[in-house]
Amino acid sequence: MVRLFASPRTKYTNNRKIIVTLEKRITFLTSSMGTKWLAYSQALLKIWFPECKRIVVDGSSGWDPLFFVSLSESVETEYQVLVDEDCFILDREKLLKLIKIMDENQDVAIMATPDGGTFHRDFNPIACNLFFAIIRQKALRKAIYNKEWQNLVYSDVEHMANKDHVEKLDESRISYSRKEPYYPFFWAVIASGGSIKYIIPGVEKNLLASEVKIDGFSQPLLIHMWWLRCWFSPELDSYLKVSNLERYRRLEREVLAPLFRRFRPRMFLLAEECRRVRRRALRHIARTLAAAKSGKSHPFSDAT
């Protein structure tokens, strides 16, 4: 049974109580399309990490693939943790264990899942996917210090890359030639001497979602659903052999709903849903005004 409502962890040293708080250590960042799943994912972060700052940016149009770099100057903590709105953190202690690994290995700049060789991704496995990533702020700033970093390509750093994790991946789903617009950041990290610790995701078979499990724990740290842009589609997905709507309904019914049955979690969820709706309304007003100024209409068709 999952115990909701974490508080800053308590340790005892020489009979003195020490409160371990993450307020100055972690900032959560999310680029959001504004779907209903944002309320769930943000409510879970609020429950597990009540002391941590959370930043949500509008990714519904003109998505900035390097939004976390743009926001880095406003992040004052040691780490920024990227969490997609369809990524659901299920436990505090498991994330703390990953932070501890980062603390003990100062050369590690990023901890994330490879972007190829997995059930859900068939791109370059030396780069990472951004649905969940722990990024050391000091390493980020070092990586982007050279103003030419965005021009880097994989061939520039291939000889420096650690490929030990590749043997654990599905070779048939690896393509070193495919790329994403956020890849230069990873090449800049490698070029600046930083290392990447790769987390190999598993597959949650009932939801056909990614799950990340941590050594020593039976339950996953997180579940990531993928295909958020078409979560509401009832059409059978040719790859998954099930509709995305059915997958997301199972998620809500079997995973999320039980977590929010009690009064306090439900109130957190309600609060986050109100924030989500407010963001969407303000975004709609801003776009409508911009369209009116330019003389163009702007239909509002975001899926809820």
The whole-number pLDDT of residue 174 equals: 98
Residue 120 belongs to some domain of the structure = yes
- Cα separation, 168 vs 127, in Å, equals 15
Total number of domains in the chain: 1
Q: Which residues, in sequence order, are CB contacts of 166 under 8 Å at separation 6+?
A: 114, 117, 125, 174
Residue 9 belongs to some domain of the structure = no
Task: Report which of 101, 98, 119 is spatially closest to residue 169, judged by C-alpha positions.
Answer: 119
The CA-atom distances, in angstroms, between 195 and each of 117, 154, 201, 265 are 19, 15, 19, 38
Residue 13 belongs to some domain of the structure = no
102 CB neighbour count, 10 Å cutoff: 20
pTM of the model as a whole: 0.90
Contact 189, 109 (CB under 8 A): yes
The whole-number pLDDT of residue 296 equals: 65
Contact 238, 228 (CB under 8 A): no
The whole-number pLDDT of residue 20 equals: 62
Residue 304 belongs to some domain of the structure = no
The whole-number pLDDT of residue 143 equals: 98
The whole-number pLDDT of residue 17 equals: 42
- Cα separation, 138 vs 194, in Å, equals 10
Q: Which residue range(s) make up the domain with 154?
A: 18-294
Average pLDDT score over residue span 79-102: 97
Average pLDDT score over residue span 47-73: 93
The whole-number pLDDT of residue 303 equals: 45
Lowest pLDDT segment from 13-22, 41-50, 117-126, 181-190: 13-22
Contact 224, 30 (CB under 8 A): no
Dihedral angle sign, alpha carbons of residues 143, 148, 149, 155: negative
With H, G, I as helix, E, B as strand and everything else as coil, classify residue 18. strand
Residue 38 belongs to some domain of the structure = yes
Note the pLDDT tens digit of each residue in 160-211: 999 999 999 999 999 999 999 999 999 999 999 999 999 999 999 999 999 9
Label residue 3 by pLDDT band (50, 70, 90): low
Label residue 243 by pLDDT band (50, 70, 90): very high
Residue 7 belongs to some domain of the structure = no
Residue 267 belongs to some domain of the structure = yes
Residue 245 belongs to some domain of the structure = yes
- Cα separation, 49 vs 6, in Å, equals 7
Q: Which residues, in sequence order, are CB contacts of 168 under 8 Å at separation 6+?
A: 117, 200
- Cα separation, 67 vs 80, in Å, equals 12
The whole-number pLDDT of residue 258 equals: 97
- Cα separation, 98 vs 35, in Å, equals 28
269 dihedral zone (left: phi>0; alpha: psi -120 to 50; beta): alpha
Beta strands 209-212 and 202-204, pairing class: antiparallel
Contact 56, 38 (CB under 8 A): yes
Task: Report which of 268, 304, 278, 226 is spatially closest to residue 49, judged by C-alpha positions.
Answer: 268
* CATH number reported for the structural domain that contains residue 48 in this entry: 3.90.550
- Cα separation, 129 vs 302, in Å, equals 24
Label residue 18 by pLDDT band (50, 70, 90): very low
